[in-house]
Amino acid sequence: MNFITQTLNGLGLGSIYALVALGYSMVYGIVQLINFAHGDIIMVGGYILYLILVNLGMPLWMAIAAAILVCAVAGVLIQRVAYHRLLVHNAARISLLITALGVSIFLQNLFMILFSSNPRSVPTLIDFGSLSLGSLAIPSKTVINIVVSVIMMVGLQLLVNKTKIGKAMQAASEDTGAAKLMGINTNYVVAFTFAIGSALAAVGAVLYCNTYPQISPDMGNLLGLKAFVAAVLGGIGSIPGAMLGGYILGVAETLTKGYVTSTAYDAVVFGILILVLLIKPTGLLGENRKEKV
């Protein structure tokens, strides 16, 4: 019974990783960039939520809406200011990576100066006790995490497969040059991808604050790293893959924490990354793309 509870908790944690991994995966799929700043977008979302909820005393739904909006705008802003010029000039990938790293460090240190590096505790957001299934009591946060992440993924799948902008995103990730020739405004598509990815990160931030009621300027570091590993595990560029990778990673981490070691469980994530790269670098659901010269 304990095992099932642990697994469910793992799925709850994995839901957060999955939402963050979606953003990494989508951005990587279109511009082939590991957006290091993505983890810090979660941190921004967490702080916006905290400021509006606690400092301004506004209702929860407004705080969540504001967090999502601010994160989406921040995502587009980062893309416009920091990456756009390099993407247009077809700069070396290492330049893009270093810029992304710079944005990540900038956000972290900006928030550290603004709000000090001490963690702040977030009040309980949503709590309806627990859901009992037979003798099993699932805490509300786990239920919320899983339900929200599934809704988000279904919504994203519909967006990508059924709408015009979604098809444009697919085209741009397949071949940006050809998409441009077909009359797709790729700049707009890239900006839209950043907005959606960052909005999903904001949802992830809300779930994170609900699960672990604490925020700090460096909270995005490890969370971002794990989510990226989840994206690689599931197959980078694939939306269901990112979700699957997130769930697997969350369960693996919780089970390690419960049964093996309570201190060095982060090392498991790293071990998974090495194994994936050794055995199946394209990930579980990723396609093997041939490189063209």
Partner 1 sequence: MGALKKKTGVYYGVNAILTVILFAVLLFLIDSGTLSRYNTTIITNVCINVILAVSLNLVTGILGQLVLGHAGFMLVGAYAAALFTKNIGLPLSVSLPIGLILGGLLAAVFGVVIGIPALRLRGDYLAIITLGFGEIIRVVANNLKITNGAQGLGGISSLQTRNNPAGMFIYAFAIAALLIFLSFTFGRSRHGRAVLSIREDEIAAESMGVNTTYYKLFTFVLAAFFAGIAGGLAAHQTGMIDPSKYDFNRSVEILIMVVLGGMGSITGSVISASVLTLLPEMLRDFDQYRMLVYSVILILVMLFKPSGLLGRYEISIPGLFQKLTGFIRKKSSGKGEAQS
Binding residues vs partner 1 (CB under 8 A):
34, 82, 85-86, 91-99, 101-106, 108-110, 113, 221-222, 225, 228-229, 232, 263-264, 266-267, 269-270, 273-274, 277-278, 281, 291, 293
Please say which residue, 55 or 263, places its beta carbon nearer to partner 1: 263
Residue indicated by tokens 């990508």: 160
Q: What angle do CA 240, 245, 251 make, to 5 degrees?
A: 130
User: Between residues 32 and 140, which has the closer beta carbon with respect to partner 1?
Assistant: 32
Please, what is the minimum distance in Å from the beta carbon of residue 206 to partner 1?
Answer: 25
Q: Which is nearer to partner 1, 38 or 141 (CB)?
A: 38
- Smallest separation (angstroms) from partner 1 to the CB of 132: 36
Identify the DSSP state of 230: H
CB contact at 8 A, 49 and 116: no
Task: Indicate the residue among 97 and 159 with the shorter CB distance to partner 1.
Answer: 97
Q: CB of residue 289 vs partner 1: minimum separation in angstroms?
A: 11
Bridge partners of residue 132, in order along the sequence: 137
For the record, the structure tokens of 63 come out as: 């705080």
Measured distance CA(196)–CA(199) in Å, rounded: 5
Q: Among residues 94, 73, 65, which one has the least CA distance to residue 197?
A: 73
Q: What is the number of H-type helices and E-type strands within the chain?
A: 12, 4
Q: Which is nearer to partner 1, 97 or 143 (CB)?
A: 97
Dig out the tokens for 120 from the structure.
Answer: 């702040």
Report the nearest approach of partner 1 to the CB of residue 34 (Å): 5
What are the backbone angles phi and psi of residue 138, rounded to the nearest 5°? -95, 125
Rounded to a whole number of angstroms, the minimum distance from the CB of residue 167 to partner 1 is 26
